[in-house]
Amino acid sequence: MERAEIESKLNELLVEELGLDADKITPDARFEEDLEVDSLGVVELLMALEDNFGVQIPDEEAETIGTVSQAVDLVVAKLNG
Amino acid sequence: MSSVALVTGASRGIGRAIALRLAAEGFAVGVNYASSSEKADAVVAEIVASGGNAFAVQADVADADAVTAMFASVVDALGPVEVLVNNAGITDDGLLLRMSAEQWDSVVNTNLRSVFLCTKAALRSMLRARTGRVINISSVSGISGNPGQGNYAASKAGIVGFTKSIAKEVGSRGITVNAIAPGFIQTDMTEALGGEVIEAASEHIALGRLGLPEEVASAVSYLASEGASYITGQTIVVDGGLAL
């Protein structure tokens, strides 16, 4: 899967599964500070990534996700790794 | 399409009454059982005969893989679970000094580990739906304690703490988590105690009699209903005034 494809799929998940405002989603947007995703929301994000991209994200790797682009990076690395 | 409820340990006793009640209220009901397949089939047949929809599903709810498989088959047959009733439970009584570690583990695993596993499995779709009800069957034994039931009372008190914690975790997503603590209810489980114990217990019940499984089921029905939308983290005692 191409990075652009992953990015657009992720943006879709953020709107549909986490109920985020599409206008606020940018690559640099921080989940907690800018998008106001709470701790349970982060877990929902991880579950959505795992379910939709077929990857497994252990807790220690989950901690590297701060922004939208970092989430894309992790999925790209997982799919290519 | 009707809402889906899954009741663990629903082939007999309180679980059976809960399954029948929820089905009568229009829920499509997953009837979980561990080993009594004929009894579970009879519950399903009774529901279907009354025009309802139900599905029997075998699973040892203390086993993680079995729980995953159970949820997959219920979702396949009926749809995502909107109301989960964690009812499955066993007793294996004994004074603590004579209680084996195996007695402890089997009771705590069946009664408490199962609640963790099933709730975790159910929450995935409830979070996505932004709604859901988890109703855990605790016991007055877990609130007041009961000699000979160190394992059982610990598992049932554990359910109360679990209920409060998870209610706080998922409340922001419109999901409520509550418990019901039945007292002495007429089931196979209490029948095993023998007439003398039951008679002695009845003297301590304000209403002077044992409860019926249907009287516990009606509290479950209330917690599953729209009317209970603002109640979460609570334990409703249904014991005829035993624990007063």
The per-residue pLDDT for range B227-236, each reduced to its tens digit, is: 999 999 999 9
Are B151 and B92 contacting, i.e. CB atoms less than 8 angstroms apart?
Answer: yes
* Residue bearing the bigger pLDDT, B2 or B187: B187
Place of tokens 């009845």: B202
The single residue of B33, B152, B222, B230 carrying the catalytic annotation is: B152
The per-residue pLDDT for range B138-166, each reduced to its tens digit, is: 999 999 999 999 999 999 999 999 999 99
CB neighbour burial string for B195-224, b if at least 16 within 10 angstroms, e if fewer: eeeeeebeeebeeeebbebbbbbebbbebb
* Edge-first strand listing for the sheet containing B83-86: B54-58, B28-33, B4-7, B83-86, B132-137, B175-182, B235-238
The per-residue pLDDT for range A40-71, each reduced to its tens digit, is: 999 999 999 999 999 999 989 988 899 999 99
CB–CB contact B172 A38 (8 Å): yes
* Residue bearing the bigger pLDDT, A19 or B115: B115
Q: Per-residue pLDDT for B129 more than 70? A: yes
Report the residue of A13, A14, A40 to disrupt the B interface, i.e. the one with the largest count of B CBs within 10 Å: A40
- Report DSSP state, residue A32: T
Q: Per-residue pLDDT for B31 more than 70? A: yes
CB–CB contact B173 A40 (8 Å): yes
Looking at residue B193, what is its pLDDT? 77
Give CA–CA dist A69/A59, Å, rounded.
Answer: 18
Give the tokens for residue A12: 């879709």
**DSSP 3-state of A59:** helix
pLDDT band at B195 (very low <50, low <70, confident <90, very high): confident
pLDDT band at B240 (very low <50, low <70, confident <90, very high): very high
The chain-wide mean pLDDT, for chain B, equals 96
The per-residue pLDDT for range B76-108, each reduced to its tens digit, is: 999 999 999 999 999 999 999 999 999 999 999
The per-residue pLDDT for range B37-68, each reduced to its tens digit, is: 999 999 999 999 999 999 999 999 999 999 99
Are B14 and B182 contacting, i.e. CB atoms less than 8 angstroms apart?
Answer: yes
Which of A79, A39, A32, A29 is closest to A55 using CA atoms?
A: A79
B139 CA to chain A: closest CA distance, Å? Answer: 30
> Which residues does A contribute to its contact with B (CB < 8 Å)?
17, 19, 38, 40, 44, 47
Q: Per-residue pLDDT for B198 more than 80? A: yes
* CB < 8 Å from A in window 147-206 of B: 169-170, 172-173
CB–CB contact A40 B169 (8 Å): yes
Q: Per-residue pLDDT for B1 more than 70? A: no
Q: Is B75 on the interface with A (CB under 8 A)?
A: no
Give CA–CA dist A59/B56, Å, rounded.
Answer: 36
